[in-house]
Amino acid sequence: MTNTTAKICLIATGGTISSIYDEQTEALRPGLSVDALLDRLPKGMGDIEVIKRELFQLDSANAQPHHWQTIAGAIKKVSEEISDLDGIVITHGTDTMVYSASAVSFMVQDFGKPIVFTGAQIPASVPWSDGPRNILDAMRVAAFGDLGEVCIVFNGEIHRATRTKKVRVNSYDAFDSMDPSPIGILARDIVLYEGRKKRDHSLIPRFDTRLDDRVFLLKIFPGLPPQTLARIVDLGYHGIILEGFGSGNIPTDENALTGGILQAIDQGCFVIVSSQCAFGQADLSVYEVGRAAMDVGALSAYDMTSEAALVKLAWVLGHTHEPDRVKEMMSISYVGEISFHPEVVHR
């Protein structure tokens, strides 16, 4: 494959990688065009043809769920326009990259080729930026990687989008995979590990951008007032990701949350319990304080990251609010968002 010209699409959405220093505000803001990003790469990339698309100039802190849908729509459009596309690269801000990449994972399934998110910790306009290297690495994976899923390529590592967290503010290695390890690394060759989805040109992509974005992410802390859950429901939210302690534990004595969870569920709001821990999983059967949440109707997020759980619940609720169907869909690992659990169906 490397002996022929590969064709990829680079979709730019803004972020630090495209940022410039604004003299008026004395701060960074997105401003570099796709052409300006490509101009910072080494010359002589004759084996990769790049189709360019400018989608936003957005700081990813301003990204909203409708932007996820727009990105998925842009992928659909370019894939319909260019039948011999080898892969897609999306430049994006690091702050909410995990949310956007996870959302695209659910919205664009069975694509059969790489959809690669990347960005930078230092603007590409700065000589020592990590942006050019990350774009080059992302383009290599999109063009030549034997990969058929949405991933984040950053600092020489390839992460499954739905298993990733941003864990460092300033370091070049901003992202880590949350059990299992990254699905690949970039060295002299592209090294990919087993367990990934491989390229499959026989697949027919499924584009489904339906969302119910009325999903709330709430981190439990000592002293959290139980009535907070009722207030969230009163605000019109249809789902709550509840970040519990440890394996998904909640207060059941003073400031007990069981009543609030039960009331929310009775009002048609779905409650999913994840863990505040980066590694491990929510297992509500281990402790009484976890089982209490399960006994009043809360569902487990298993080992999903809170970001992936939020995006997945929004996507599921975009399809159904029928309790049994929501429970069933949340227990299916559609795009590798759940690494392992005996109760989970893996697709």
- Write out the DSSP string of 126-175: STT-SHHHHHHHHHHHHHH----SEEEEETTEEEEGGGEEE--SSSS--E
* Class of the CATH domain delimited by 6-207: alpha beta
% residues pLDDT > 70 (the chain)? 98
Do 191 and 184 touch, CB atoms closer than 8 A?
A: yes
* Residue of 59, 86, 95, 303 marked catalytic: 95
Domain ranges within the chain, ordered by starting residue: 6-207, 215-346
Phi, psi of 77 (to 5 degrees): -65, -45
16 is catalytic: yes
**Tokens read off for 182:** 């990254």
Q: What pTM, to 2 d.p., does this model score? A: 0.95
Residue 169 DSSP SS3: coil
Q: How confident is the model at residue 340 (pLDDT cuts 50, 70, 90)?
A: confident
Catalytic residue from among 7, 76, 166, 327:
166
Task: Express each pLDDT in 115-139 by its tens digit.
Answer: 999 999 999 989 999 999 999 999 9
pLDDT digits (tens, 9 = 90+) for 289-302: 888 999 999 999 99
pLDDT for residue 3 is more than 70: no
CATH 3.40.50.40 is the classification of domain 215-346: yes
Question: Please, what is the average pLDDT of the chain?
Answer: 94
Say yes or no to pLDDT of 287 above 90: no
Task: Report pLDDT for 332.
Answer: 96
**pLDDT over 90 percentage in the chain:** 82
Q: Which residue out of 16, 162, 209, 258 is catalytically annotated?
A: 16
Catalytic pick among 13, 86, 91, 94: 94
Peptide bond into 251 cis (omega under 30): no
Residue 179 region by backbone torsions, left for phi larger than 0, else alpha for psi between -120 and 50, else beta: left
Q: Can 6-207 and 215-346 be said to share one CATH topology?
A: yes
- 196-224: per-residue pLDDT in tens? 999 999 999 999 999 999 999 999 999 99
Of 68, 33, 38, give the one whose Cα is nearest residue 50: 38
For the question of residue 166 being annotated catalytic, the response is yes
What is the C-alpha to C-alpha distance for residues 284 and 302, in angstroms, rounded to an integer? 9
Tens digit of each residue's pLDDT (9 = 90 or more) over 47-100: 899 999 999 999 999 999 999 999 999 999 999 999 899 999 999 999 999 999
> Is residue 94 among the annotated active site residues?
yes
